[in-house]
């Protein structure tokens, strides 16, 4: 830390992204990316747009915003596009929370929520998952704080139903409820249509998972025009050109190619169920996932050892050191071939453990 670093950030522990090692080529199942490349049309649109890189991007993201609005059946002023959904989450923390209005979230959930809260000096209430790693929606009724819930949750993959989300949105009419639907296309029930009914609901989504564009950094939020207007105030006060022009055209084209991406998501769901079955045959406990990853543990090997041994054999998964989940690993679902390699390596490791 330099002697110039602001005191207010001196105790901040930044978010740790999944590792991106360069030492060898891994079967990369650690950051929930899609194994499928962007569509051919996206690639061509990006090449064409590159000719205009000397010009600023459209700060309103007009074309992409309209396409997202049409895709999700809302008006354009109910959508804000950002640089990944991490950015809209941070904007929402900035816009709706402060030292007096905190935020509530689960003890086991997306690790960035506590970082955004710390970054912005926002107190938070941590609500424990039940012993089976599910969220009890009743724990979120009538809270003092705003609420953020990843649905499906990460890293568990477990989802709440739309009805359960609606109940808790209804029970907190004076609180902003943020539902982070980063993984919703892999079997979750979206509550996005509820934004027309509840002005305290903000739904965030991303192009990083089902739309094969983690490197393009596109996220977006859908909520009442008033919520979106507040978020725009934050955006225009931090980075008006937050979404670059290449990503804007790539995103717009990806919406045009929705069928391609949604059929890839279906393939991933199939691979997920296949992998779950294979892991269970090997004695793993695997949580019921509605996401593009599985959360699994074995009583034959510790979570840490399995992670390290898989890494030494060229397969990367994500291990978290938090006590409650340290026995588990989060395994991103890739192609069938990648999942077969994973299973083959696990069989090998379990043999070595005997």
CB of 206 to ligand PMP, least distance (A): 3
CB of 221 to ligand PMP, least distance (A): 11
CB of 18 to ligand PMP, least distance (A): 8
Residue nearest to ligand PMP (CB): 84
CB of 125 to ligand PMP, least distance (A): 19
Q: What is d(CA 14, CA 197) in angstroms, rounded to the nearest whole number?
A: 36
CB of 10 to ligand PMP, least distance (A): 26
Complex with ligand PMP: residue 164 or 180, whichever CB lies closer: 180
DSSP 164: H
Closest to 89 (Cα-Cα) out of 9, 172, 165, 178: 178
CB of 268 to ligand PMP, least distance (A): 15
Complex with ligand PMP: residue 85 or 242, whichever CB lies closer: 85
Complex with ligand PMP: residue 37 or 283, whichever CB lies closer: 37
What residues make contact with ligand PMP under the rule CB under 6 A? Answer: 84-86, 110, 150, 154, 180, 182, 206, 208, 214, 219
Complex with ligand PMP: residue 217 or 297, whichever CB lies closer: 217
3-class SS string, 47-98: HHHHHHCCCCCCCCCHHHHHHHHHHHCCCHHHEEEEEHHHHHHHHHHHHHCC
Q: Answer positive or negative: Cα dihedral of 266, 272, 278, 280.
A: negative
Q: What is d(CA 294, CA 299) in angstroms, rounded to the nearest whole number?
A: 16
CB of 84 to ligand PMP, least distance (A): 3
CB-based burial of residue 311 (10 Å sphere; 0-12 exposed, 13-18 middle, 19+ buried)? middle
Complex with ligand PMP: residue 72 or 298, whichever CB lies closer: 72
| C-alpha dihedral (341, 346, 348, 353), degrees to nearest 10 | 170
Complex with ligand PMP: residue 143 or 243, whichever CB lies closer: 243
Closest to 179 (Cα-Cα) out of 89, 296, 298: 89
Q: What is d(CA 233, CA 239) in angstroms, rounded to the nearest whole number?
A: 10
Complex with ligand PMP: residue 84 or 187, whichever CB lies closer: 84
């Amino acid at each position: 830390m330099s002697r110039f670093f602001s005191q207010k950030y001196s105790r901040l522990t930044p978010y740790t992204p999944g590792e991106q090692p360069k030492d060898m080529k891994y079967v990369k199942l650690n950051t929930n990316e899609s194994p499928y490349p962007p569509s051919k049309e996206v690639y061509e649109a990006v090449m064409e747009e590159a000719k205009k890189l000397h010009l600023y991007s459209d700060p309103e993201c007009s074309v992409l915003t309209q396409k997202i609005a049409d895709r999700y059946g809302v008006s354009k002023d109910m959508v804000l596009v950002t640089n990944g959904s991490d950015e809209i989450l941070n904007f929402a923390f900035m816009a709706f929370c402060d030292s007096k209005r905190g935020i509530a979230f689960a003890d086991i959930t997306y690790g960035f929520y506590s970082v955004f809260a710390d970054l912005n000096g926002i107190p938070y209430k941590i609500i424990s998952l039940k012993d089976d790693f599910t969220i009890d929606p009743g724990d979120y009724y009538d809270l003092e704080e705003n609420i953020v819930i990843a649905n499906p949750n990460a890293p568990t993959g477990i989802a709440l139903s739309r009805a359960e989300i609606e109940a808790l949105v209804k029970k907190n009419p004076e609180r902003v409820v943020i539902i982070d639907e980063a993984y919703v296309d892999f079997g979750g029930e979206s509550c996005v249509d509820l934004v027309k009914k509840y002005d305290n609901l903000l739904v965030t989504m991303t192009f990083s998972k089902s739309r094969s564009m983690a490197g393009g950094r596109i996220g977006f939020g859908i909520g009442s025009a008033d919520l979106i207007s507040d978020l725009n105030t934050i955006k225009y006060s931090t980075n008006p050109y937050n979404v670059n022009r290449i990503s804007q055209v790539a995103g717009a084209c990806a919406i045009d190619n929705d069928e391609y991406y949604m059929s890839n998501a279906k393939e991933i769901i199939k691979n997920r169920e296949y992998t779950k079955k294979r892991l269970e045959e090997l004695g793993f406990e695997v949580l019921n996932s509605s996401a593009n990853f599985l959360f699994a543990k074995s009583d034959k090997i510790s979570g840490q050892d399995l992670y390290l041994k898989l890494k030494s054999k060229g397969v990367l998964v994500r291990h978290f050191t938090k006590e409650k989940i340290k026995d588990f690993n989060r395994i991103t679902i890739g192609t069938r071939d990648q999942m077969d390699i994973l299973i083959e390596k696990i069989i090998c490791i379990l043999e070595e453990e005997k």
